[in-house]
Amino acid sequence: MDSAARFFDEPVSTVSLQTAFSGEFEGMRMKSVRPNITKVRELWNSEDGYRELTRQFQRLVLEEPDNELSANARAALSRLFDGYRDYADMARAPLPATYQFDALEFYCSAEGYDYVRRVIQDVFRKDDPSDDRLLLATTLVERITIDLYNLRLSEIGDPRYANFEGIVYRWMVLDQEQVAVYRDILTRPDRSKRNFAIPLGFASAAGELDTTKHFAAIQPPPTAPHNIEEQQQKVRVLQKIHIHGIDPALLAAYKQKYPDSVVTSICAMPVARMSPFSEKEILLRGPFYHLIAINEREDEAGRFVEVVVASMNANRDHGSELSSNDGVKALQRAAFLNAVNASKWEVCAAIAAAENSSPLDAAAYERLQTQTLQKLADEFGISAKVDGRLADAQSPEVAVWLGALGAECYPRYYASRRNAWQTALASGRWVDAEAVIKGEYLWGRSEWYNIGRLFDENETIEGDNLTLLHQLVRHAPPTGLMEDVDDDNYQAWRRLLDGASDNGVWKSLKSFDASAMTAEQLAFDLGQYLLAKKLKPQIFNRIPPTIIERLEAKLHGLMMEKAAYFINPATFHFPQLSVLAEMQPPVLWIPVPRMYGINNNGGTSFGPYSPNGLKEGQKWSQ
């Protein structure tokens, strides 16, 4: 299956279930699923229970005679329960000392996506799914949820992981009947009921509309019919999904009221580094959509229907939340739902006004927000003054210092791309090096100019370990900067060099060897003066070098004082603060592998709290 299928397949949503069954079917099926979620989490809570769950999972996945999984996919599935995997801030057992997220990586593979989707379809589309299938589906979803939770913690200083907010896109090809269901939802008199969902499932969306068009150009959507009559009944549908978290003031008030309640934002997560296809993908986990507008649009491929929805990136899914319907937890759950709804109505009001969907919609959503805020105050004692700007929120881009040199510190597919990239650099294969970088997230592409090579766990770390910037100078063609050289490798080198002019590329970065030279200095030493001119840093914040040196020394000392267990100077490049002078604003996220979590076995886990007291969201400052 091509990777594009994730962006075009129709998800198992309440809309598709209504067209196949009835509106009550989804609710009935979720009632049978919820006890399995509780059962799986209870089994996860004890060593004996986890062993039993593992045994059942392996039996269902690996021993079924009709299982069509390849040997590679079976091996990937078996890794899901190779050792104990858990939420990183739970102190139940030792955690793996790697950042390789097996469940997410399996889902992001072509065969893995197909398998997970098929299992979830079996649960929701069959009249009477077996207990085994229900257990398999909920176990898979829980395992992927754990990876999403831990991925967020491992990148907690990057706002796009900590709380993704923005607009994402997803194309579908649907029957006229299914489009009619969307229109029916939009005409419901009670605007609070204009919703649909993908229960117990996942959907893939792209952070850029152009990305979805790119996949549309690769091949027709997998659901496209061959029969002309049938094709005439098909409609191209673009979901425009506005993703937002809970209003910050409301979230703070909720946490103050219920400090033991675990609130996360794993309903929308960037997962491109998990994927072999580099689709700039945002994975939507069990999304609940609120339908705001339906528009008729047209592009170069013809007419299509645009479905505008809001989806809240907030949930309470966590291994500690076993009794969400009992006692205080039931109150927490109800209060949380109202905080989410109050935020959602604010977003819906703003989007409805911008879309001009109806002159009455925006006012109605504003009233819903007012009523929900009042309910929070009266019934739960939660009061907050919201500023009305939630709908404008968008996760900012933050520069990341990737200092860890071990391949095990990164997701498996990302590490393999780094390996292919560094092999291409070492041999001067610029066409291959360019291909690797093109496959990266647009927001992370500049990172590749400023990183050295990765090393395997038992590999000796040696050599000059130059960045791409320095390699471009070291291996510059003898012809220098010539415009009319008809050679693919030269043209790729030239395009990579031109890409270095991006403001996200740190040209003040010194090489990771004894010479500690910038690429500009190296070009001067080699007599490449035109090249040196192109690699001159653009300084926005002028700081005397002596001040930078003193700040660096203090920061490096603080890192070793607070996180020495997690940092081996031989396998970690400490941050060079000179790069902050090239940034607007000067903010740098410096992830330290395995530091963010409960230190329950000598410091091998990661999560929101470190042994030294570094809190979630706190980062080494510039």
554-585, pLDDT tens digit by residue?
Answer: 999 999 998 888 898 888 999 999 999 999 88
**Range with lowest mean pLDDT among 205-219, 262-276, 445-459:** 205-219
Query: Residue 525: its pLDDT value, please?
Result: 94
pLDDT band at 304 (very low <50, low <70, confident <90, very high): very high
Neighbours of 59 (CB within 10 A): 12
Under a CB-based contact definition with an 8 Å cutoff, are residues 143 and 53 in contact?
no
Under a CB-based contact definition with an 8 Å cutoff, are residues 479 and 430 in contact?
no
Q: Which residue has the higher pLDDT, 413 or 597?
A: 413
pLDDT band at 241 (very low <50, low <70, confident <90, very high): very high
Q: What is the mean pLDDT of residues 190-198?
A: 90
Mean of the per-residue pLDDT values of the chain = 81
pLDDT band at 318 (very low <50, low <70, confident <90, very high): low
pLDDT band at 219 (very low <50, low <70, confident <90, very high): very low
| Start-end of H helices in 219-360 | 228-232, 248-257, 327-355
Q: Which residue has the higher pLDDT, 231 or 256?
A: 256
Question: What is the reported pTM?
Answer: 0.86
Domain segments of the chain: what residues?
Answer: 5-392, 399-534
206: burial class by Cβ within 10 Å (0-12, 13-18, 19+)? Answer: buried
Q: How far is CA 62 from CA 58, 140, 146, 184, 518, in A?
A: 5, 14, 22, 43, 53
Query: Residue 372: its pLDDT value, please?
Result: 97
Q: What is the mean pLDDT of residues 188-201?
A: 87
pLDDT of 607 higher than 60 = no
Identify the DSSP state of 10: P
pLDDT band at 27 (very low <50, low <70, confident <90, very high): low
335: burial class by Cβ within 10 Å (0-12, 13-18, 19+)? Answer: buried
Q: 504 in helix, strand or coil?
A: coil
CA distance 509 to 548: 13
Q: ω before 585 within 30° of 0 (cis)?
A: yes
Q: What is the CA radius of gyration of the chain?
A: 26
**Range with lowest mean pLDDT among 140-154, 308-322, 381-395:** 308-322
CA distance 372 to 379: 10
Neighbours of 299 (CB within 10 A): 12
pLDDT band at 622 (very low <50, low <70, confident <90, very high): very low
Query: Residue 95: its pLDDT value, please?
Result: 52
Chain Cα centroid distance, residue 375: 33
CA distance 273 to 410: 9
490: burial class by Cβ within 10 Å (0-12, 13-18, 19+)? Answer: middle
Under a CB-based contact definition with an 8 Å cutoff, are residues 436 and 420 in contact?
yes
Strand partners, 297: 304
pLDDT band at 378 (very low <50, low <70, confident <90, very high): very high
Q: Which residues contact 283 (CB under 8 A, 6 or more apart)?
A: 104, 107, 108, 148, 202, 203, 204, 205, 268, 269, 270, 271
Q: Indicate the helix (H) or strand (E) that contains 180.
A: helix 176-186
